[in-house]
Structure 1
C-alpha cells in the first residue's frame, strides 16, 4: 500500500504543473552550466601547458613577447567565461528552488487545508477513536515529510539523473579506465548515506517523541499548577521532569554522535575518488593518453557527482518516510462521515420535537445509551430530562443536534426526520450548551459571539445578562475584551458555564438545549439564571438536562431516565406525588444534601 500512497499527491503536482515543468527546465539549464565550465577548465589547463612550452621554445626571440601576450589574453578570456557561466548557473539554481521548493510549500499548504477541512467533516465517533496528538501529528509532521519528497527529493533526484546521463558518457569518451575507477566509491557513498540517514531519522523520531512527552508533561503541570501546589507535589513533579529532560538529553547526544560521523564519511569517500583520479590520471598523462587538463576536468566531474550521489541515499530515505506519512494521511482522508443529509432540507424550525422508539449504542465503545425512548415535545414548551450519571441524558441532546445518528427509531423536528435536514441549517437554529464547557483562548467577546457571522453588541450584552454573567464581566478591568486563557482557565467554573450559555443564547436559537449547564453554580445563582431563562424560553422550545431537581422543576414536563430508559414522565407536582418513584427519591436526597 505505501508504494501507491504517494500517487495521492499527483493531483496537487498537476495543479502546480507550471512550477514543476519550470523547475525541470531550470534543473536542466543549471546542470548544463555546471558541466561546460569543466570542459573550459580542461581547455584552459591544456592552453597553459602549451603556452609555457611555446614561451620556453621562443626564449630569447622577439616572438616570445607575442606568445606571452596571446597566452595571457586567452587565459583571461577562459577565466571570465567560467565566471560568467558560474553566475548564470547561480541564477538558474535560484529559479530552480523558486519553482520546485515553492511548489512543495504550496502543496503543503493545500494538504494542510484539505486535511483540516476533512477533519471538521468527520463525526464525533472519529474523535473518540483518535487522540488529539495523533490528529496533530498527521496535519503537521506527516505533511512536512511529504513536502520533503515533493521539494528536495524530486529536485535532487532530477539533478542526479541529468548529471549521470550527461557526465558519465563524457567521462567514458575521454578514458574508460579512469572513469570506472573514479566513480567506483560513489555507489558505496550513496548506500552508506542511506543507512546513516535512516539511523539519523530514527534517532530524530525518538528525540521528537521524547520532546513531545516532556512538553505534554510540562503543559499538564502548568495547567494543573493549583492541584500540584495544593498537594505539595512540586519536588515529585521536578523529579519526573528531570527524568524526561535527561531522556531528551541522552537521545540528543546520541544523534549528535551519529551526525558527527556523517560528514567525515562523505569527505573520506570523496577523498578516495580524488586520490584515484589524480593517481590513475597521472599515470595516463605519463603514458600520453590524456592531458593534465583532463585530470582537472575529471576532478570537477567527481565533485559535481558527489552531492547528488550523497543526496541519493538521503532522498531514498525521504521517499520512504514520505510514503509512510502519505499512507497515514490517506487513511484519514479515506474515512467518510456517515452524518450526511439525505435531502438537504433547509427551513426555519418551529421546534416540535418527537423521539419515536429511539435506541442508541455508541459505535466505538458498544455502550447502549438509550433503549426504546419515545416522547413528544411540542413547540414553545420546555422539557426537562433528569437522571443519575450515565442514564443517557446527554445522548438525547447529541441525537437532537445530530452529532450521532440513532441506532434504531427516528428523531423528528416539525415532522421532518433530522437526517433529512441540512446539517448547517439544523445546527444553526439550535443553541447547545454542552456538559463539558469549552472556551477558546480568546476574549470573552469573541467567545460569546462565536456562532454569529455579524456580531451585535446589544445582543451580546443581553445574552450575558440572561446568563447572569454580565455583572461579572463588566467588573473585569478589560470587560468583554478580557482574555479567558487556555480553556478559560482565568474564569471560575460557574463563570465558564455562564459564558458558554451566553454563547448559545446570543444566537437566539429556535431550540435551546442546556446540558447540565448549571452544575457549577450555587443555588442562588441558579435561581437567578432560571428566572432570566424563563423570559428567554418563553415561546421557544427548550430542553433542560440536569441531575439536579432544582434546575428542572420549572419545566412544563419532566422525563426521568434510568439506564437509558424512561421510567417516569410528567410534571413536577405529578412526579412528586408518585411514592417510591426515582424523581422523588432524587429530590429528597438532594434536599437533604443542601440542608446538610
Structure 2
C-alpha cells in the first residue's frame, strides 16, 4: 500500500511538472498569439490535468492512511508483545511512568510519522525535485537566482533540526517523569489520604507539570522564530523571480508565458517551504521517540526458552537447589544455597525481612536466573525447560495480591480460563472466599475494580489463593499469602491445602509460626543463606531465629489472652 501511495503521488507530481508548461502555451500560443481555438483547447487540457492531479492526491492520501493504520496496528502489537516477554529484571530497573509514556506517547509519535510523516517528507522532497526540474526547463538563469534563496531555506531548516532535537528529548523525559508521579500517586492514594498530604502532592505534581509546560514551549518558541524567517526567504525569492524575470521578459530572453510558468513553479515551493520547518521538527521529535521505542524492541529478553526446548507434559514437583547464588545490581543477596525438596513435600520458609526468601522461590519459575549454581525441577535445570511449560507447572500467591478489573469468576479462573463454575466455586470455598463472594452484589459475576479496590487485604489474598488452587499446578508457592487473614481463617485454608495437596509440592513463606509449623521441613533463611533447617519440633529444640520467633509470638499470644481475660473480668 505504501508503494501504491508513492506511485499515485508520482502521477500528481507529474501534473505539477506539466500544468505550468500547458499554462505557458495558453498564454503564448493562445492569448498573445490571439488564437481562440488554441486558447480553448489548451485551457480545457489544463483543467483536465488539474482535475487528474486532485484525484491523484486523493488516492495518495487514501493509500497513505491505509498504510499508516496497518503500521500503527503492527507497532502497537510488537511493543505490547515485547513488554509481555521482557523479564522481571527489566521492570526492576525502569520507572513505570517511563514504560507507559513509551508504550503510548512514543509509540503514537512513531506511528504517525511512519505513515503521514514519511509520506509528507517524501512528498515535500519530491515536490522540490519536480519543481526545480520544471524551473530549469523554463529558465536556467532564473533557477540559479532562486536556488540561492532555496539554499538559505535548507540551511535554516538544518540548523533548526539540530537545535530542536534535544528539546524534544527533554520534553519526552519530563513527560515520563510526570506520568510516573501520577501513576505512583494513584497507586498510593490511600497512603496520601492517610497522612493528609494531598496539598503537598498537588504542589509536587504542579511543579512537574510546569516543568513539562516549559519544555513543551521550548521547541514552540524556536519554531516561532524559525518560521517567519522561512516565510521571509520565500517572499524575497518571489520578488527576485518577478524582478529578474521581468527584466528578462523586457529584453526578450523569455516570453510572458515562460515567466508565468516559472512563477507558478516557484509559488508551488511556498507551501512545501512552510512545511519544511514542521517536517524537520517532526523528524527530530520522531527520532527521539524512535530511539526509545526501538531501544525497547531491541532490549534483550534475557530469560526465554532455549533452542529446541521440549515442552514438559507432566511435572512431578521435585526441586533441587545446588550451590545457588543470587545477585541484583552486582550485589550478592544469596550465597551457596543447597536444598533438596522431594515431590509432594510441604516446605516452610522463615527468616528476617530481606534475607532472600522470595528471591530463592523466584528462581523456580525463572522470574530471575541464578548468578551461580543451578535450580532443578525433576532433575532438569530450569534453564533448559520450555518457559511456558515450566511456569504452567508453578502457581504463585505473591506478597502483594493483584486482581484484574474483571468479574470475580474470571479473576479466579485467570490461570485456567476453561474451568467450570463448579470448579471455581470449589476453589473459592477452599480459599475461604465463598461466603464473602456470595455477599457481593452479583456474586461470582461481580466486577471488581482495578487491583481489587473495595476489597479488604484479606479478601484479595483469599481470591488469589483460590486462583492458585484452581490451576492445580505441580508446585504451589504461598509467599506470605495469609498475612492479612485472621488465624482461624488461616487454619481453615491450611486444612484445605492439605486436602488438595494430591502430590503437589508446596512452599510456604511466612513470619507466622502457625503457617509453617505443620510443614515437612522448615528452612530458616538469614543473611542470604540457609542458617538452619528441620521440622518444627527439631528447630524448637535448639537456639536460633526460629525459636526466638516462636517465643516472641507465643509471648504475644499469652499477653493478648491475659488482656482479654482482664477486660472480661472488668466487664463482669
For this structure pair, what is the TM-score category when the shorter chain's length is used for normalisation?
Answer: 0.7 to 0.9
CA 423–225 in structure 1, closer or farther in 2 if over 3 Å, else same: closer
Whole-Å separation in 2 of the counterparts to 1:204 and 1:492 = 44
2:300 to 324, 335, 354: 335
Task: Please state how far the C-alpha of 1:188 moved relative to its aligned partner.
Answer: 1.6
Provide closer, same or farther for how the CA distance between residues 342 and 389 of structure 1 changes in structure 2, counting only shifts above 3 A.
farther
CA gap of 1:132–1:389, structure 2 versus 1, over 3 A, is same
Aligned-partner SS, 1:362: strand
1:41-80 equivalences under 5 Å are: 41-47=23-29, 49-50=31-32, 54=34, 71=36, 74-80=38-44
Residue by residue over 1:244-276, the C-alpha shift from the partner in whole angstroms, topping out at 9 and shown as x without a partner, is 344344445555544444543343222222211
- Per-residue CA deviation, residues 435-478 of structure 1 (Å, 9 max, x unaligned), is 23222233333222211242421211211111111222221213
- The answer to whether 1:191 aligns with 2:155 is yes
Give the equivalent residue in structure 2 for 1:25: 7
Deviation at 1:167, TM superposition (A): 3.5
- Which residue is 2:238 aligned to? 274
Relative to structure 1, the CA distance from residue 182 to residue 568 in structure 2 (aligned partners, 3 Å threshold; closer, same or farther) is closer
- Choose 219-228 or 31-40, whichever is displaced more: 219-228
Q: Is the 8 A contact 2:171 2:212 kept in 1?
A: yes
2:320 match: secondary structure: strand
The one of 434, 449, 457 equivalent to 1:485 is 449
**Is the CA contact 2:393–2:473 (under 8 Å) kept in the aligned structure 1?**
yes
Q: What is the aligned-residue RMSD (CA, Å)?
A: 3.0
Task: Please say if 1:217 is aligned against 2:175.
Answer: no
Tell me what 2:433 maps to: 469
Q: Deviations over 1:280-300 (max 9, x none)?
A: 122222212222222221121
C-alpha separation in 2, matches of 1:115 and 1:243: 31
Shift, 1:302, TM fit? 0.9
Tell me: CA distance 1:575–1:157, structure 2 relative to 1, closer, same or farther (3 Å): closer
What displacement does 1:46 show? Answer: 2.9
> In 1, are the aligned partners of 2:334 and 2:528 still within 8 Å (CA)?
yes
In structure 2, what is the Cα distance between the partners aligned to 1:551 and 1:193? Answer: 69
Aligned-residue offset at 1:164: 4.4
Tell me the residue number matched to 1:580: 543
* Kept in 2: contact 1:274–1:302 (CA 8 A): yes
Structure 1 residues 255 and 339, CA gap change in structure 2 (3 angstroms): closer
**Superposed CA offset, 1:343-374 (max 9, x none):** 62433445342424332222434223243322
Q: Distance in 1 between matches of 2:130 and 2:186?
A: 60
Structure 1 residues 231 and 551, CA, compared in 2 at 3 Å: closer, same or farther?
A: same
Partner secondary structure for residue 357 of structure 1:
strand
Distance change >3 Å, CA 132–CA 233, structure 1 → 2: closer
Shift of 1:511: 1.8
User: Structure 2 length normalisation: TM-score?
Assistant: 0.87
Residue of structure 1 in register with 2:566 after alignment:
none
Within 2, Cα distance between the matches of 1:134 and 1:109? 21
Question: Given the superposition, is the C-alpha separation of residues 534 and 195 from structure 1 closer, same or farther in structure 2, using an over 3 Å criterion?
Answer: same
Q: Is 2:512 the partner of 1:548?
A: yes
CA distance in 2, matches of 1:255, 1:166: 31
Q: CA deviation at 1:514?
A: 0.8
Q: Relative to 1, partners in 2 of residues 1:566 and 1:334: Cα closer, same or farther, differing over 3 Å?
A: closer
> In structure 2, do the counterparts of structure 1 residues 273 and 207 end up closer, same or farther at CA, with 3 Å as the change threshold?
same
Indicate the residue corresponding to 1:368 in structure 2: 333
1:382, CA displacement in angstroms?
A: 1.5
Distance 1:340 1:364, change over 3 A: farther
- Choose the corresponding residue for 1:303, options 267, 285, 291: 267
Give 1:44 deviation, angstroms: 2.3
2:22 match: 40
The answer as to whether partners of 2:101 and 2:175 remain within 8 angstroms in 1 is: no
Deviations 1:182-215 (A, max 9, x none): 2321222233234345555554554554454444
Which one of 398, 407, 426 corresponds to residue 362 of structure 2?
398
- How far apart are the structure 2 equivalents of 1:150 and 1:226? 42
User: 2:50 corresponds to which residue?
Assistant: 86
- The one of 53, 60, 65 equivalent to 1:96 is 60
Q: CA deviation at 1:397?
A: 1.6
Give the one of 132, 136, 155 matched to 1:168.
Answer: 132
Unaligned stretches of 5+ residues in structure 1: 1-18, 55-69
Is 2:322 aligned against 1:357? Answer: yes
Question: What are the ranges of 5 or more consecutive residues in structure 2 without an aligned counterpart?
Answer: 561-572
Counterpart in the other structure of 1:114: 78
The residue correspondences of 1:395-544 to structure 2 (distance < 5 A) are: 395-544=359-508
For 2:388 and 2:248, locate their aligned partners in 1 and report how far apart those are by CA, in whole Å: 80
Match for residue 59 of structure 1?
none
Deviation at 1:507, TM superposition (A): 0.9
Cα distance per residue 1:300-321 (max 9 Å; x no partner): 1112233445555554555565
The 1:227–1:398 alpha-carbon spacing in structure 2 relative to 1, beyond 3 Å, is closer
Shift of 1:175: 2.5
SS of the aligned residue for 1:451 comes to coil
Alignment match of 1:228 (pick from 180, 192, 204): 192
- Could you say which residue in structure 2 is the equivalent of 1:13? none
